[in-house]
Amino acid sequence: MIRVSSAEKHKATSRRIRVLIAKPGLDSHDRGAKVVARALRDAGMEVIYTGLRQTPEQIVETAVQEDVDVIGLSILSGAHMTWVPRVIELMKEKGIFGEVLLLVGGIIPEDDAKALKEMGVDEVFGPGTPTDEIIKYIREHVRRG
């Protein structure tokens, strides 16, 4: 049995929440992603923004390398039913599905949002969602070891 000191436990649980914000595919509209990233950072979270035109492989690999607590996908292109299932598949392959919170933001029709949640997306945020709502959701749902 490995014993962990109380100082190590505190360090592990007091670490800032780490959030990866990613723009999969050819979607080049990133204003919303940048607004959310800044709000999360201002709320004390550590934010890694991957930039535009990321593949699901790049997104999941970055999430693993950066040891993030949350992956936030910003998709305005309408390709969410293509990109999100692939991200979920890769998260499962890497063993982080169910451990890392998966959020999707963008213009997502209600039926698609329901389908994404059934696939395993933790929450879907549409245009105009107050950033305080996103921050609250993350703080209440992030999974800590």
Could you give the C-alpha distances from 50 to 33, 58, 62, in angstroms and in order? 10, 9, 8
Q: Could you tell me the pLDDT band of residue 9, with boundaries at 50, 70 and 90?
A: very low
Nearest alpha-carbon partner for 78 in 112, 50, 49: 112
- Mean residue pLDDT across the chain: 90
What pLDDT, in 10s, does the model give residues 74-116?
Answer: 998 888 999 999 999 999 999 999 999 999 999 999 999 999 9
In the numeric block, the tokens 């050819």 are attached to: 26
Half-sphere exposure of 121 (CA within 13 A, CB side): 23
The domains of the chain, with CATH numbers, are: 16-141 (3.40.50.280)
- Looking only at the bridges linking them, the beta strands covering 123-125 and 18-22 are unpaired
What pLDDT, in 10s, does the model give residues 16-38?
Answer: 999 999 999 777 778 889 999 99
Q: What is the pTM of this model?
A: 0.88
